Amino acid sequence: MVPEVLGDAESRMAKSLEAFKRELQTIRTGRASPALVERLPVEYYGTPTPLQQLATIHAPEPRLLVIQPFDRGSFGDIEKAIQKSDLGINPTNDGKVIRLAIPPLTEERRRQMVRLAKTKVEEARVAIRNIRRDAHKDLEEFESEKMISADEFARGVEQLQKLTDRFVLEVDRLGHQKEAEIMEV
């Protein structure tokens, strides 16, 4: 019983960590990365569609993103989506590709990005703690129904806390790494 609960909690925490990593990739750092716009929702034929499903995105230079839509009719929709986003970048369209020149970040904008990164870190911590709470509740139910002993419950809670601490430390490490990347000039 306890190993199943811990295994489930670990897999859910790992999924939360992966989601957190994807969220961090969307935060602008001054370098061009396709991850900045991959999941940007584009209103395409009335349906919000991630940009990565409508175009190829690559970074030929450190401060330039090139977006090549599969369908020429989607150029306007993609440009509108980029302008509406909070990226603060104006697209240029030459009829074949859309170019996004990534301007260097100002000090004030860097600080805003760091605050955003800290918010994402806290959200990830909360998600991991919620998973711990759910697993703890399951262990309590097993103990109250006499499916596990009090000793097994105590060991399970201890292992669950170690698991939680490991994932929270990884979230913190990734958050600090992203902050350093943002503040790097």
Over residues 105-136, the pLDDT tens digits come to 788 888 888 998 999 999 999 999 999 999 99
In this predicted structure, what is the pLDDT of residue 40?
Answer: 87
In this predicted structure, what is the pLDDT of residue 128?
Answer: 96
Taking CA atoms, 114 is separated from 71, 106, 107, 134, 136, in Å, by 36, 12, 11, 30, 33
In this predicted structure, what is the pLDDT of residue 34?
Answer: 85
Fold of 34-101: Gyrase A; domain 2 (3.30.1360)
Q: Given pLDDT bands bounded at 50, 70 and 90, which one contains residue 155?
A: very high
The DSSP annotation for 7-43 comes to HHHHHHHHHHHHHHHHHHHTS--SS--GGGTTT-EEE
In this predicted structure, what is the pLDDT of residue 185?
Answer: 64
Contact 102, 65 (CB under 8 A): yes
Tell me which amino acid residue 116 is.
Answer: L
Q: Which CATH architecture has domain 2-25+106-183?
A: Orthogonal Bundle (1.10)
Task: Report residue 32: phi and psi, to 5°.
Answer: -75, 130
Task: Report residue 64: phi and psi, to 5°.
Answer: -140, 135
Q: Where are the domains of the chain?
A: 2-25+106-183, 34-101
What's the half-sphere exposure (Cβ side, CA atoms, 13 Å) at 135?
30
Task: Report residue 47: phi and psi, to 5°.
Answer: -120, 130
Examine domains 2-25+106-183 and 34-101 and report if their fold is the same: no
